[in-house]
Amino acid sequence: MCYTSRMERKNWLYLGPNPCEEECVSMNDYEGHRAEVRRYAQLLTEVFVNIPDGAWFGVKREDGSDAGTYYEAVIYYFENDEEASNFAFFVESNCPQRWKDTKKIDWKAPKESILRK
């Protein structure tokens, strides 16, 4: 957890280094791993529409694991922003599963129109 200069409480949810049904680049390939995670964060930014002002996608660096430094795509959101919080949890449950899953997802659409089949 960290704080912004406006003293709003910012939180994040980990979304993984890449779509869950794809093979990932080895963390031993540091530059390749980092590039893949950035590509995934970009995919998320392009797929989800109507992103609230209090939420955004990014890449988070983590240190200290047995494997060393690694990166994951995350959804950042302000906890005191109900819409941003709801969006973040929606994203966590509806991430693209493959790189080719580029269909736009409007989280504000009626739920029956966006449920995966």
Q: Give tens-digit pLDDT for 44-78.
A: 999 999 999 999 999 999 886 666 788 999 999 99
Residues 86 and 78 sit within 8 Å (Cβ to Cβ): no
- Taking residue 54's Cβ as centre, other Cβ atoms within 10 Å add up to 19
d(CA 50, CA 68) in angstroms, rounded, equals: 36
pLDDT at 115 over 60: no
Whole-number pLDDT of residue 112? 58
pTM comes to 0.84
Please state the domain count of the chain.
1
Segments forming the whole domain that contains residue 86: 2-114
Residues 56 and 4 sit within 8 Å (Cβ to Cβ): no
Side chain identity at 18, as an amino acid letter?
N
